[in-house]
């Protein structure tokens, strides 16, 4: 067991980097998939395309916090924020470029803009919601690990996901879909997204637990966050 303030290695391992890169890719792609709503079979339930990948970012958040501690998870969260901000700005610029005069190319540009024109708005909501939700998720996971002395990873992962996803949805959906969908539809989306993503976490929990055990054994660390700052803006502390 290592103490994140004293004993944890200051280097960034290859495993940590790969997990962080995967986290960022899932996050960016999820934000692009957000405008695509889909029907859940015969049920009167709609979900966004992001539900397929976004929960993976929370699972990785749990793994990062459990193995490396809150401070390294916080660094990954802010890297993800920076990547999403870059995509948001790039999407906005590209959709504002002059359209070509050729008819086929013009139609293709219109189709592109109809999709990515929504991305900046979704990104604004997602960036705010992501920072809040992911930080809450990591904070709960970190605090509960110390309180339980490392026991009950499964329950800690589920509870932290509920807290993080609820925070994320409460911020994101009113910003991303307010005025575009009826109020009741937005509320329904918020609720179903939290439920769906939590169920996703529960279903894949055996895999998550296995990954955590393997990474801990490979890295030789099991971080307990004692006497650290939970200030979400202290990204220079790892």
User: pLDDT, tens digit, for every residue of 167-193?
Assistant: 999 998 888 778 778 888 888 888 888
User: pLDDT, tens digit, for every residue of 77-86?
Assistant: 999 999 988 8
Tokens 């999820």, residue?
Answer: 30
pLDDT over 60 (residue 225): yes
pLDDT over 90 (residue 99): no
Q: What is the pLDDT of residue 125?
A: 80
Question: Kind of pairing, strands 2-3 and 46-48?
Answer: unpaired
What distance in Å separates the CA atoms of residue 217 and residue 90, rounded to the nearest whole number? 40
The domain ranges of the chain are 2-224
pLDDT over 90 (residue 44): no
Sign of CA dihedral 200, 202, 208, 210: negative
Q: What is the pLDDT of residue 5?
A: 45
Higher pLDDT, 45 or 76: 76
Tokens 């895999």, residue?
Answer: 207
Instruction: Find the radius of gyration of the CA atoms of the chain.
Output: 19
Confidence category of residue 103, pLDDT binned at 50, 70, 90: low
Higher pLDDT, 2 or 42: 42
Q: What is the pLDDT of residue 29?
A: 86
Among 129, 20, 49, 32, smallest CA distance to 88 is for 32
pTM for this predicted structure:
0.82
The residues near 104 (Cβ < 8 Å, ≥ 6 apart) are: none
Tokens 């932290």, residue?
Answer: 160
What percentage of the chain has pLDDT greater than the value 90?
A: 43
Q: What is the pLDDT of residue 104?
A: 64
Task: Determine contact, residues 200/51, Cβ cutoff 8 Å.
Answer: yes
Q: What are the beta bridge partners of residue 3?
A: 224
Q: What is the pLDDT of residue 6?
A: 47
- Fold category of 2-224 in CATH: Arp2/3 complex 21 kDa subunit ARPC3 (1.10.1760)
């Amino acid at each position: 067991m290592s103490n994140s303030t004293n004993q944890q290695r200051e280097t960034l391992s290859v495993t940590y980097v790969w997990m962080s890169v995967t986290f960022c890719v899932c996050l960016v792609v999820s934000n692009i998939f957000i405008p695509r709503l889909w029907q859940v079979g015969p049920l009167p339930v709609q979900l966004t395309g992001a539900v397929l990948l976004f929960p993976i970012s929370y699972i990785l958040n749990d793994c990062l916090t459990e193995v490396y501690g809150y401070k390294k998870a916080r660094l990954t969260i802010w890297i993800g924020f920076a990547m999403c901000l870059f995509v948001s700005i790039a999407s906005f610029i590209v959709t504002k470029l002059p359209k070509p005069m050729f008819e086929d190319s013009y139609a293709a540009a219109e189709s592109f803009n109809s999709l990515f024109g929504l991305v900046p708005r979704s990104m604004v909501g997602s960036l705010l919601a992501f920072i809040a939700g992911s930080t809450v998720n990591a904070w709960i996971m970190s605090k509960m690990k110390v309180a339980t002395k490392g026991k009950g990873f499964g329950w800690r992962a589920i509870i932290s996901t509920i807290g993080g996803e609820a925070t994320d949805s409460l911020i994101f959906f009113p910003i991303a879909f307010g005025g575009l969908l009826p109020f009741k539809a937005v509320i329904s989306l918020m609720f179903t997204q939290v439920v769906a993503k939590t169920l996703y976490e529960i279903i894949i929990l055996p895999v998550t637990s296995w990954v955590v055990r393997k990474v801990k054994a490979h890295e030789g660390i099991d971080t307990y966050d004692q006497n650290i700052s939970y200030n979400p803006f202290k990204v220079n502390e790892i």
